[in-house]
Amino acid sequence: MSDEGKNGARRRWLGLLAAAVVLGSLGYGAWWFLVSRHYVSTDDAYVGGNVVTVTSREPATVMALHADNTQTVKRGQVLIEMDPSVAQVNMQAAIANLARQVRQVRGQFSRAATYDAQLNQARIALAQAQDDYKRRSGAEQGAVSGEELSHARDAVRAAQAAMNAARGGLEQTLSSIQGTDIAHNPEVLAAEAQLRNAALVLNHMTIVAPVDGVIAQRTVQVGQQVAPGAPLMAVVPLQAVWVDANFKEVQLADMRVGQPVTIKADIYGGGVTYHGRIEGLGAGSGSAFALLPPQNASGNWIKIVQRVPVRIALDPKELADHPLRVGLSVTAEVDVRDTSGSLITSKVGPGSTTGDTGADNSAATEALIARILRENGGVQQ
């Protein structure tokens, strides 16, 4: 082939290459204008979730464990049993104390009735003594001796003193029972409160799962003496996890609450795609809440692009099909074409998180209190 033919072939190939470059550039430009610029993505994203700590509310010794790491538990399922011996003794003491207080208050009501009768009797005796004294003091001179008149006067004073003593005893007794019945006497109410507290402590000897989830971070052992508030294990509700994606501040201009998000987790590779929605944008950058926040007022300052955490809610059905674990790495891509949503979420949250604290024995406790009152005081609360 001649040089001219070689040059012509080279020019054709270069022309085709140039055309391919131009077409590729035009295609990329069209793709960026029509598609890419309407999406923002980050791989600085991780699965987040609640780690519900299980603690003891009373000092006690662990007798039995019914759950271990990686096991799935249901809300209300028994996790740990404590030694109830001390709590049972305190419960029996509280029952006896309530019965004793009821009997003492009932005795105070009886004493009040006795003092009231004595006071009425003293009033009658005082009236008789006063009448006798008036008759003797009004008699004709010489009809009553001075000694007899003096005795009548002393009888009036003695009757007055007896009435004052009866009135004082009645007032002292009434000071602790007046205005209430046996069931609502302050001493009885205090004993009832002690009994309720003892019942609560006894109920706390059984620790249950506060939420549905998977057990993690179990540190407690059988026979261990635990202190109130010490973490024993944790329950992670994997069915309610979310994604915290840290986007650069330059990516937030068109980001709104409610925009759709596609998420891919490293644990499943590219074969599984999650679909979520933006639930809210963080109140500040990550560095603002760091343990050692940056001092940007210093002389040597370098601008660093900040990142803001964005909370992404996931589809519960997709989570059930392909569970995620807290802390896993994911990639999040947000469709920012629809900018009609709010920049700040207007709802308080996805709903309050409540936990199960164990069996509610309040009805049984109240029935026990009513029975003690009925058996020892003759009344029913």
What digits encode the pLDDT tens for the residues 177-191? 655 677 777 888 889
Q: Find which of 162-176, 262-276, 363-377 is predicted with most confidence, using mean pLDDT.
A: 262-276
Residue 147: its pLDDT value, please?
A: 60
Q: Find which of 141-155, 173-187, 212-226, 364-378 is predicted with most confidence, using mean pLDDT.
A: 212-226
Residue 291: its pLDDT value, please?
A: 81
- Per the prediction, the chain carries an average pLDDT of 82
Residue 6 has pLDDT above 90, yes or no: no
Between 63 and 155, the higher pLDDT residue: 63
Helices of type H across the chain: 3-34, 85-138, 146-177, 186-203, 316-321, 362-377
- CATH class of this structure's domain 241-289+302-342: mainly beta
Of 35-49, 125-139, 295-309, 335-349, which gets the smallest average pLDDT?
125-139
CATH 1.10.287 in the chain: give the residue spans. Answer: 86-201+362-377
Residue 170 has pLDDT above 90, yes or no: no
Write the single-letter amino acid at 47: V
CATH 2.40.50.100 in the chain: give the residue spans. Answer: 56-80+208-232
CATH of domain 56-80+208-232: 2.40.50.100
Q: Among residues 115, 109, 156, which one has the least CA distance to residue 132?
A: 156
| Global model pTM greater than 0.85 | no
CATH 2.40.30.170 in the chain: give the residue spans. Answer: 241-289+302-342
Give whole-number Cα distances, 338 to 218, 257, 258, 291, 335, in Å: 45, 10, 9, 36, 8
Q: Hey, is 62 helix, strand or coil?
A: strand
Residue 39: its pLDDT value, please?
A: 87
CATH architecture for the domain at 86-201+362-377: Orthogonal Bundle (1.10)
| Side-chain-side CA neighbours of residue 36 (13 Å) | 7
Going by pLDDT thresholds of 50, 70 and 90, the confidence category of residue 381 is very low
Residue 132 has pLDDT above 70, yes or no: no
